[in-house]
A and B are shown apart, each in its own frame.
Chain A
């Protein structure tokens, strides 16, 4: 009897300690490290962030921001349209959840050109087909004069992704496929979603478990069937051979809606191997240049400026103190350079 009550006391006290610990962790995470998930489902783009939700992101760099009415990392578009409004669509480089909002290249460009407004339509994980779909389906909400499409060198892998927005090769060219995401999910999914929306800890644990499961699955796959040597050397550099044609197709689609399109290419750079050229994937850069030449579009390529800045200051334009310096996304230095180049190009479009 005595033993039983001692055991239950131990269990109650143990659970208390665990619960208290979890609450402290929740508070710390929510305040300084990560926000609870704030996604709302979207039938075409799977999800967006909840309008006006506050976000703290510290995975790479640091960003505290508030989403706009469209769930994007920006302020609401101005009620009175300025002389030049650009819609900037892109991936995580454009979304820029690694730097504080005033430091992202969209805002930098905006601050340098009077009469310019840039609407940030960037979202992490988007590839060329997503950008085209977003510009087509939602772009008109912003009523832009110029469309700026940002690509990075790894985007070329994103053309063919079954189940997500992708390009299908058809007999007379290509077709942009936009699958519909179900509005309602299973009960378990909804429970998980509720928890994620209310707990930063749960959100973070779920993300990390996803990463862990993915990493372990890949590792075990490699253990039982090791990939061929050439695949091990270059895991990221493959892209469809008709990438230029695909980019041209997307350009032609968008060009029907937006007469003025500017392309912005953001490279990844190996700063430690700068003497050997330094570009992560030089072939990708060539693809974008070839594409821009074919359609006669403006391509902003900040590669040389980023390299020059590194040579001048010794500091890379990618990476952060809490990630690998020189790898990953643009840091504030990189955003400043890209922002200046973007501003220069957009200044020419001012009426």
Chain B
């Protein structure tokens, strides 16, 4: 079920109605759990069993880790949880990738490796990371194990963030389950504001940009160099509006239901360097990789050389998390190199203050943006040859081709640039709608009419669903 679909609105209305009618707190909890499974099962009911299996394993592992008397048993149960979650990821997401990589080798030896018909479960990377973080936190004694299976199942399957994040950690979510509040008008208004923001980002901005981006990335050789540049700029905004739009909608729905979910984006395209970009982009994943991968690998505590190795490993695996393809690994690797270079520069600069000046800031921003845009090519292109062809177009190696500057996409890019400038001027504060003021309703009316008039219909799924 996609947040921007008709059936989701019906579903949400029914859930809100149910929560409003249910007097007993336990009933509200049950309703949320059932609703979450219905939400997931709407895509493919068979995969509800996969979530249930993951839930059972991590629930048991959490309890066993907590109750174990000695470290070996604790570690053993942690390994059980990690193997189970990474196993799910490995089987469903990476098995064909691995087989594909070994296929030529086996083929040379006369063995034909098959292509497995495996469906990638929606959101598998998100809920496995979420449950792994829970087991690790319990193991680290940062979080007590949850004894209530229903609460734990709700933590794993909570529908607003189940399929595309934000990746919520147990410490952030489980305490909120101490009491599931009835609906509150303030929460509904605040949630609606965030939800509408996300909805607009998705259906008006991201989907409009997709109309432009998809054909150009499918056949970059047919288009001119300026078109390739505009398409990659459009893609940068598309993926931002798509993913941050989903996150906003998730946070908004969570808020309506009375739950706080972590912020996932803080205007990443205003970043002046790559390190800042990663502090603003997909924050819940960056935080996860930092706390559960980079730091356990040693972080920056084991010498300069090892720091860079850790950084690269983290970013390569972060890239691979996005998809079973070398394109994503290259994308992660490039970001890893850029982070390492920036770290090196920061180390060389030492305690000296950063050089100021608007021109310098603009140059830093432009360099960061060009780097980010180039790396998005690897992220979006189907394969290496396509990415390479696209980069050649961007480098004006074969500049001739179809000149296409999709008017609607250009309008969205202009609006996007304007909104980013507004955010910089407002010091990162979002524009919010105060539903107590009449003008707010006028704005909402305009927004909905503009969406109705100009959104490309067709319910394109969120980009991050595939991850």
Q: Does A78 contact B (CB under 8 A)?
A: no
Identify which of A16, A212, A273, A322 contacts B457 (C-beta below 8 A).
Answer: A212
Cβ B449 vs Cβ A314 within 8 A = no
Q: Does A271 contact B (CB under 8 A)?
A: yes
Stretch at the interface among A18-26, A168-176, A258-266, A287-295: A18-26
Q: Does B342 contact A (CB under 8 A)?
A: no
Stretch at the interface among B269-277, B357-365, B399-407: B399-407
Identify which of B211, B218, B402, B442 contacts A18 (C-beta below 8 A).
Answer: B442
- Kindly list chain A residues whose C-beta atoms are within 8 Å of the C-beta of B457: 208, 211-212, 215-216
Q: Does A350 contact B (CB under 8 A)?
A: no
The chain B residue sitting closest to A24, CB to CB, is B446
Question: With A13-B438, A18-B442, A272-B215 given, is the CB distance from A314 to B453 under 8 Å?
Answer: no
Cβ A325 vs Cβ B404 within 8 A = yes
* Interface size range of chain B in the complex: 20 to 34
Cβ B406 vs Cβ A321 within 8 A = yes
User: Taking the nearest CB of chain B, how far is it from the CB of A215, in angstroms?
Assistant: 4
User: Taking the nearest CB of chain A, how far is it from the CB of B106, in angstroms?
Assistant: 28
The chain B residue sitting closest to A14, CB to CB, is B438
- Kindly list chain B residues whose C-beta atoms are within 8 Å of the C-beta of A322: 406-408
Cβ B402 vs Cβ A325 within 8 A = yes
Q: Does A303 contact B (CB under 8 A)?
A: no
Q: How far is the CA of A119 from the CA of B446 in the complex (A)?
A: 42
Q: Does B441 contact A (CB under 8 A)?
A: yes
Cβ A25 vs Cβ B441 within 8 A = no
* Binary A-proximity of B198-229 (CB < 8 A = 1, otherwise 0): 00000000000001000100110110100000
The chain A residue sitting closest to B224, CB to CB, is A314
- Kindly list chain B residues whose C-beta atoms are within 8 Å of the C-beta of A220: 6-7
- Kindly list chain A residues whose C-beta atoms are within 8 Å of the C-beta of B445: 17-18, 21-22
Q: How far is the CA of A13 from the CA of B436 in the complex (A)?
A: 11
Q: Does A106 contact B (CB under 8 A)?
A: no
The chain A residue sitting closest to B449, CB to CB, is A25
Cβ B6 vs Cβ A216 within 8 A = yes
Cβ B402 vs Cβ A205 within 8 A = no
Q: Does A324 contact B (CB under 8 A)?
A: yes
Q: How far is the CA of A20 from the CA of B449 in the complex (A)?
A: 13
Q: How far is the CA of A208 from the CA of B446 in the complex (A)?
A: 15
Question: With A18-B445, A272-B215, A324-B215 given, is the CB distance from A315 to B402 under 8 Å?
Answer: yes
Cβ A16 vs Cβ B438 within 8 A = yes
Q: Does B459 contact A (CB under 8 A)?
A: yes
- Kindly list chain A residues whose C-beta atoms are within 8 Å of the C-beta of B404: 319, 321, 325-326
Number of interface residues of A (CB under 8 A): 36
Q: Does B305 contact A (CB under 8 A)?
A: no
Cβ A205 vs Cβ B442 within 8 A = no
- Kindly list chain A residues whose C-beta atoms are within 8 Å of the C-beta of B350: none
Task: Tell me the B384-431 residues at the A interface (CB within 8 Å).
Answer: 400-408
Q: How far is the CA of A22 from the CA of B7 in the complex (A)?
A: 28
Cβ B438 vs Cβ A21 within 8 A = no
Cβ B453 vs Cβ A205 within 8 A = yes
- Kindly list chain B residues whose C-beta atoms are within 8 Å of the C-beta of A209: 452
- Kindly list chain A residues whose C-beta atoms are within 8 Å of the C-beta of B211: 324
Q: Does A286 contact B (CB under 8 A)?
A: no
- Kindly list chain B residues whose C-beta atoms are within 8 Å of the C-beta of A16: 438
- Kindly list chain A residues whose C-beta atoms are within 8 Å of the C-beta of B446: 21, 25
Q: How far is the CA of A216 from the CA of B403 in the complex (A)?
A: 33
Q: Does B21 contact A (CB under 8 A)?
A: no
Q: How far is the CA of A22 from the CA of B405 in the complex (A)?
A: 29
User: Taking the nearest CB of chain B, how far is it from the CB of A59, in angstroms?
Assistant: 11
Q: Does A139 contact B (CB under 8 A)?
A: no
User: Taking the nearest CB of chain A, how far is it from the CB of B393, in angstroms?
Assistant: 13
* Binary B-proximity of A307-326 (CB < 8 A = 1, otherwise 0): 00000001110010110111
Cβ A14 vs Cβ B442 within 8 A = yes
The chain A residue sitting closest to B7, CB to CB, is A220
Q: Does B439 contact A (CB under 8 A)?
A: yes
- Kindly list chain B residues whose C-beta atoms are within 8 Å of the C-beta of A208: 452-453, 457
Q: Does B175 contact A (CB under 8 A)?
A: no
Q: How far is the CA of A11 from the CA of B406 in the complex (A)?
A: 40
The chain B residue sitting closest to A319, CB to CB, is B404
- Kindly list chain B residues whose C-beta atoms are within 8 Å of the C-beta of A143: none
* Binary B-proximity of A1-19 (CB < 8 A = 1, otherwise 0): 0000000001101101110
4 further contact pairs, Cβ within 8 A, besides A21-B442, A21-B445, A321-B404: A10-B437, A14-B442, A18-B441, A208-B453
Binding site for A on B (CB under 8 A): 5-7, 211, 215, 218-219, 221-222, 224, 400-408, 436-439, 441-442, 445-446, 449, 452-453, 457-459
Binding site for B on A (CB under 8 A): 10-11, 13-14, 16-18, 20-22, 25, 201, 204-205, 208-209, 211-212, 215-216, 219-220, 271-274, 314-316, 319, 321-322, 324-327
A–B pairs, 7, beta carbons within 8 Å: A13-B439, A205-B452, A208-B452, A215-B457, A216-B459, A319-B404, A321-B404
